Amino acid sequence: MNEQPGGPYPDLPYPDLMDRVVNLAKRRGFIFPSAEIYGGFRSTYDYGPLGVLMLRNVKDAWWRAMVQLRDDVVGIDAAILSSPKIWEASGHLANFTDPLVDCRHCHERWRADKIEGSCPNCGSTDLTEPRAFNLMFKTYAGPVEEDATVAYLRPETAQGMFVNFMNVLTTTRKKPPFGIAQVGKSFRNEITPQNFVFRTREFEQMEMEYFVPPDEADTWFHYWLDERMAWYLGLGIPEGKLRLRHHEADELSHYSAATADVEFHFPWGWDELEGIANRTDFDLKAHAEHSGERLEYFDQASGERYVPYVIEPAAGATRTMMAFLLAAYDEDEIGGERRTVLHLDPRLAPYQAAVLPLSKNDALVPLSREVLGLLQPVAVCDFDVTQSIGRRYRRQDEVGTPYCVTVDFESLEDRAVTVRDRDTTEQVRVPIDRVAEELAGRLRR
Ligand code: GAP
The per-residue pLDDT for range 46-102, each reduced to its tens digit, is 999 999 999 999 999 999 999 999 999 999 999 999 999 999 999 999 999 989 999
- The stretch 263-269 carries a mean pLDDT of 94
- The stretch 35-44 carries a mean pLDDT of 93
Amino acid present at 225: L
* pLDDT, position 380: 98
Q: Is 384 in the pocket of ligand 1 (CB under 6 A)?
A: no
Phi, psi (degrees; rounded to nearest 5) at 407 = -105, 120
Q: Which regions of 324-423 does DSSP assign to beta strands (E)?
A: 329-334, 337-342, 353-357, 381-383, 403-407, 416-421
Q: Which of 354, 412, 413 is nearest to 387 (CA)?
A: 354
Q: Is 315 in the pocket of ligand 1 (CB under 6 A)?
A: yes
Q: Is 188 in the pocket of ligand 1 (CB under 6 A)?
A: yes
Please report the atom of ligand 1 found closest to the CA of residue 274. 14
Alpha-carbon span 65 to 68, nearest angstrom: 6
Max CA separation in the chain (angstroms): 78
Angle ∠(29,319,209) on CA atoms, nearest 5: 130
pLDDT surpasses 80 at 437: yes
Q: Which of 6-15, 162-171, 225-234, 321-330 has the lowest mean pLDDT?
A: 6-15
- Nearest protein Cα to ligand 1, atom 24: 199
Confidence of residue 273 (pLDDT cuts 50, 70, 90): very high
* pLDDT, position 422: 97
pLDDT surpasses 70 at 169: yes
Distances (CA, A) of 152 to 13, 66, 179, 181: 45, 28, 25, 21
What is residue 197's three-state secondary structure?
A: coil
Alpha-carbon span 87 to 287, nearest angstrom: 10
pLDDT surpasses 50 at 7: no
- Nearest protein Cα to ligand 1, atom 12: 316
- Nearest protein Cα to ligand 1, atom 15: 316
Between the CA of 316 and the centroid of ligand 1 the distance, in Å, is 6
Please report the atom of ligand 1 found closest to the CA of residue 158. 1
Please report the atom of ligand 1 found closest to the CA of residue 201. 23
Alpha-carbon span 282 to 294, nearest angstrom: 14
* pLDDT, position 2: 36
Q: Is 264 in the pocket of ligand 1 (CB under 6 A)?
A: no
Q: Is 274 in the pocket of ligand 1 (CB under 6 A)?
A: yes
Mutate which of 59, 153, 156 for ligand 1 pocket (most atoms within 8 A of beta carbon): 156
Confidence of residue 1 (pLDDT cuts 50, 70, 90): very low
Q: Is 204 in the pocket of ligand 1 (CB under 6 A)?
A: no
Q: How many helices (H) and strands (E) does the chain have?
A: 13, 24
Q: Is 73 in the pocket of ligand 1 (CB under 6 A)?
A: no
Q: Which of 141, 159, 158, 162 is nearest to 150 (CA)?
A: 141
- Nearest protein Cα to ligand 1, atom 22: 199
- The stretch 370-398 carries a mean pLDDT of 96
Beta bridge partners of 383: 355
- Nearest protein Cα to ligand 1, atom 25: 199
- Nearest protein Cα to ligand 1, atom 17: 316
Between the CA of 131 and the centroid of ligand 1 the distance, in Å, is 22
- Nearest protein Cα to ligand 1, atom 19: 316
- The stretch 185-206 carries a mean pLDDT of 96
pLDDT surpasses 70 at 4: no
pLDDT surpasses 70 at 136: yes
pLDDT surpasses 90 at 10: no
